[in-house]
Amino acid sequence: MDGSPNLAQAMVNMAYVLAALASISAAVFWFRADEAKRKAESAGKTPTLEWFSPAANATGIALGTAGLAFLASQFV
């Protein structure tokens, strides 16, 4: 890389931080989905998938961000 290596490394580090934040967000969504499922089951209702879609999306974003951060780190 012709630019400043410190800047490039800082950008890769920021990508890892974003991946960590996305994985925390995914964990919160999965926790909320599990809580909604347990509440529905305890009330005798059939659990719906309304909470699982955001959890799956957040998981995909976390994995994608981590993958891109790892790929970028190979070029720095």
Residue 48 CB coordination number (10 Å) = 10
Rounded to whole angstroms, the Cα distance separating 75 from 51 reads 38
- Quick one: angle between helices 5-42 and 52-73, nearest 10? 160
| 63 close to 38: Cβ distance less than 8 angstroms | no
Q: Where is 30: in which H helix or E strand?
A: helix 5-42
pTM: 0.74
In order along the chain (76 residues), what is the average pLDDT of each group of 10 residues? 76 90 90 88 83 85 89 85
